[in-house]
A and B are shown apart, each in its own frame.
Chain A
Amino acid sequence: MWENIKDFASTFFVTGDPLIYGADVSIALTSIAIVFVLTYFKKWTWLWREWITTVDHKRIGIMYLIASLLMLFRGGVDALLMRTQLALPNMKFLQADHYNAVFTTHGTIMILFMAMPMMFALFNLVVPLQLGARDVAYPFLNSLSFWLFLMGAMLFNLSFVIGGSPDAGWLSYPPLSELSHSPGVGENFYIWGIQISGIGSLATGINFLVTILKMRAPGMKMMKMPLFSWSVLSSSIIIIFAFPILTVTLALLFLDRFLGAHFFTMDLGGNPMMYVNLIWMWGHPEVYIVVLPAFGIFSEVVATFSKKKIFGYNSMVFSMMLISIVSFFTWAHHFFTMGASANVNVFFAISTMVIGIPTGVKIFNWLFTMFRGRITITQPMLWTLGFIPCFAVGGATGVMLAVAPADYQYHNSYFLIAHFHQVLIGGVVFGYLAGIYYWWPKVFGFKLNDRLGKWAFWLWNIGFYVCFMPQYALGFMGMTRRLYTYGSDTGWDLGWAPLNLISTVGAFLMGLGFIFQVWQISYSIRKGERDLTGDPWGGRTLEWSIPSPAPMYNFAVEPQVTTDDAWWKVKEDRAKGIKPAPVKYEPIHMPKNSAIPFVMSVCWFIAGFGFVFDWMWMAIPGLIGVAICLLARSFSYDTDYYIPVDEIERTEAALRGRTV
């Protein structure tokens, strides 16, 4: 009996590495600390009522933001572990298996559990406010999306201490990811972590598509909508068409592993190429899913801090919609070297370059928004100005990679690694950070400290170039990705050491930048400049017309929109002495909180965990729990309520009274 338990524990828990024991201890300590603090300060009911069961988009946005920052930390630690291992040739810091797990989780976490939730955080925090809406179209579904994402992410992260991490690369190409070559549970964690959070992502895409199409304030025609909302629309459209492909692909891979199907094995007529095609049919649009909202953020930030209307609004809209369509016709550029015919390669090379056209146009439009404006370099603007050169270079190397015959030399090399980090960090991360700094006062009611923020920016920006420029050169030196070691140990010494060392220094500079941001946030919570006006930057769009943080119903009275930059117009009218129409409050229709999204996601987690270990006694009850939650929701009729007028009056009086 005792022997059985010991046997089970030694495979169930990951053992053998001091880093992992350290993680075990810190997870245990953190959990105990959280439980203690919540109990000591009697915060359990508060947590349940105000956060876990909330359907308020602003709260859900904040939870997304916190989760994504935690994931940025985890993925960032992975990155630093890798760069430490590669700092010197023949390093013995990480073993091959451990290194392979680390780059796999780094990629998966950064894209799916960091970039996606950070993007959804901004969707949630901003879009309803920009549209003049009181919530998203489906608040219940919104809460479900968040909890599914969080449970998926937790399931994936659990693999670090239980069962073992996936180690077949962030896209898990078969046959390496099949049972034949990855017999452990790591790949199962990969599949179920992504599947569960993927349902949430798809639902969010649908939610925001409908919100944008149906919930805009009266008078806000599509072509008067702020560009960030347009970017969310284009991104949501891609989500709706791309995420089902991911779900199906991973479901097929699961069937291969679980039931011995042969979709992606070569025996019995399956084909791994099919997986490679499918995963990139999702994977390439995915990068546009995350970068388009960043484009939207830059459009808002540039106009606000140049005190000027955005240049070429129609072009901006058209180019985003064009990108969302063309992004579905470029996937094969990820495997030009897999033996496709010359015709296929030429088609995908040119379709890929075509994406560069609308993207280039956007850069010129941002530049000419600043042209003849009045530019103040605030924190959001700083990140925007850091983005433009970085993304221009990253985009240019992207066009170079699209040149199919040349790609035979770049493919799988560090040139490629440098390119996609440049567009993903320089484009997506810089963009989201610009957005977070920009909307932070709206969400939390105070600004983030300027001085610490500037340190963070320069460390990130300089660290980026120090880290990734050498990697382009390493690509030309023949260094391929995913090598856990190099130098004499592998037989060839090709002089990769100095540039690798420089690159590692850069990675740590970025890590330092992140620490400055943590410092900045904790400092500003206490001492940050409070935003009493609701419009700290001189904004142009509706979210700046209400107090910061916004009351739970957002807008006491539905705004009437007549033009783009709706709030700017109101301010202009006020300056001209035009009096706003008298305010008349009406009861506001609001959704009720619900525990079902959380409970259902927990059931999914239980089912997912059961499937990971092939424990049907656990998976089936989990799925039954999901079904019960669905039924419970179908039969619950008491889902909404009205906020009475006197309560609105009291809230507004308190908020406006505070306003100077």
Chain B
Amino acid sequence: MKSKRSGWKLLTILVLSYAVIIAVSVALGWDKFIVLDPKGPVAEVQQKLIILTGLICMAVVIPVIVLMVYIVWRYRDTPDNDAPYQPNWHDSKLLETIWWGIPIVIIIVLGIFTARDTYKLAKPPVTDANPITIQVTSLDWKWLFQYPGQKIATVNYVQIPAGVPIRFQLTSDAPMNSFWIPQLGGQEYSMPGMAMQLWLQADKPGKYFGSGANFSGRDFAHMQFVVESKPQAEFNEWVKQVKASSPELTKEGYTQLAKPSTAKQEFFSSYPDDLYTEIVDKNGGIYMKHEMDSMNSGSYNGSTKP
């Protein structure tokens, strides 16, 4: 009996100390939870939804666990336990209706929020600023960004103007990947032969973490990139500077770039016209024109119309 009790004591100490470790590390590293620290309207909608649904789920789970602990303790099989024992009680229409009902109600509530935000995020985040388009290509194992409006290109670095909705068009000239900037919003796959679309926006200037989220081969772990958001004027200045001081990206240059390897940040003052269209087409986009048009309700060749 005594050893049993000390076992429970040990377990309680373990659980408590673990809780303390977790609490302390969470408190010390709160700003590290970048998904919960949004810097743009898309990530903000998602963060609110994460917290809301998390709380609803906790409101169900915690009582269930408490109830379980209570029942196991109350109806334990000891000779002196005076709790009622009804070995043949196995049916209650009322109780069963209650616990078919509770999850149904919760699912309805969650379903409404899900539908609301799904339709909301399919549209550009704000409509009063003119969006810009950036064409993103995932390569083995690096990211190429083309600015059709500005006619510049970058590798593993993308600068965006703050407060402006960005229409990222995503494709891949390698196995599929997924384009993710947690503080600006959720990810979207980049797939060969397709031009996918993802709306994101940064509200304020800042430097954000971006990465490939879907495994794409050997050096996938090195597909992290920098997203920098700057005021519009500084962004324009940066574009000018890249145009003035960087080399061109030629066809041959792209062929080299696309070969499997890791890469540092690179900047290009120009790129071959239609490079993005060619990448999409040569990977099979040519067979999917119709589908792509209906998917994006717009062409993928660099139009900046939302």
Interface residues of A (CB under 8 A from B): 96-97, 100, 168-169, 173-176, 181, 265-273, 306-313, 315, 335, 337-339, 341-342, 345-346, 349-350, 353-354, 356-357, 360-361, 363-365, 367-377, 385, 388-389, 392-393, 396-397, 399-400, 402-409, 411-413, 458, 462, 465-466, 469-470, 473, 475-478, 480-486, 489-492, 494-495, 498-499, 502
Are B118's CB and A338's CB within 8 A? no
Of the A-B pairs whose beta carbons lie under 8 Å apart in the complex, a sample of 19, sorted by A's number, is A97-B218, A271-B284, A309-B88, A310-B90, A311-B91, A335-B189, A339-B194, A339-B196, A349-B118, A360-B99, A365-B99, A368-B95, A400-B53, A404-B114, A405-B49, A406-B49, A411-B213, A477-B33, A499-B25
CA distance A369 to B193 in the complex (A): 55
Closest to A312 in B: B96
B126 part of interface (Cβ distance < 8 Å): no
CA distance A338 to B196 in the complex (A): 8
With A272-B192, A309-B88, A374-B85 as known contacts, state yes or no: A397 contacts B57, CB within 8 Å. Answer: yes
CA distance A169 to B175 in the complex (A): 12
5 tightest A-B CB contacts, nearest first: A408-B186, A266-B284, A266-B193, A396-B57, A176-B175
Pick from A375, A403, A481: contact of B49, CB below 8 A: A403
Closest to A475 in B: B35
Q: How far is the CB of B217 from chain A (nearest CB, A)?
A: 6
Are B85's CB and A373's CB within 8 A? yes
B: number of interface residues (CB 8 Å): 102
Pick from A339, A371, A406: contact of B71, CB below 8 A: A371
Closest to A481 in B: B215
Q: How far is the CB of A418 from chain B (nearest CB, A)?
A: 13
User: In the complex, which residues of chain A have a beta carbon less than 8 angstroms from the beta carbon of B84?
Assistant: 372
B219 part of interface (Cβ distance < 8 Å): yes
Q: How far is the CB of A416 from chain B (nearest CB, A)?
A: 10
> B192-212 interface mask toward A, CB cutoff 8 Å, 1 = contact, 0 = none?
111011000000000001011
Q: How far is the CB of A93 from chain B (nearest CB, A)?
A: 14
Are B75's CB and A373's CB within 8 A? yes
User: In the complex, which residues of chain B have a beta carbon less than 8 angstroms from the beta carbon of A363?
Assistant: 64
Q: How far is the CB of A480 from chain B (nearest CB, A)?
A: 5
Interface residues of B (CB under 8 A from A): 11, 14, 18, 21-22, 25-26, 29, 32-36, 43, 45-47, 49-50, 53-54, 57-58, 60-61, 64-65, 67-68, 71-72, 75-77, 81, 83-92, 95-96, 99-100, 102-104, 107, 110-111, 113-115, 117-122, 174-176, 178, 180, 182, 185-189, 191-194, 196-197, 209, 211-222, 224, 226, 283-285, 287-288, 295
| Residue from B18, B92, B221 with most neighbouring chain A CB atoms (10 Å) | B221
CA distance A481 to B216 in the complex (A): 11
Are A462's CB and B121's CB within 8 A? no
Are A409's CB and B186's CB within 8 A? yes
With A478-B209, A483-B221 as known contacts, state yes or no: A403 contacts B83, CB within 8 Å. Answer: no
Are B85's CB and A372's CB within 8 A? yes
Closest to B36 in A: A476
With A477-B32, A483-B220 as known contacts, state yes or no: A399 contacts B57, CB within 8 Å. Answer: yes
Pick from B54, B85, B107: contact of A356, CB below 8 A: B107
User: In the complex, which residues of chain B have a beta carbon less than 8 angstroms from the beta carbon of A465?
Assistant: 18
User: In the complex, which residues of chain B have a beta carbon less than 8 angstroms from the beta carbon of A375?
Assistant: 71-72, 75-77
CA distance A31 to B39 in the complex (A): 59
With A269-B287, A357-B100 as known contacts, state yes or no: A350 contacts B90, CB within 8 Å. Answer: no
Are A484's CB and B221's CB within 8 A? yes
CA distance A413 to B189 in the complex (A): 13
Q: How far is the CB of B143 from chain A (nearest CB, A)?
A: 12
CA distance A168 to B174 in the complex (A): 13
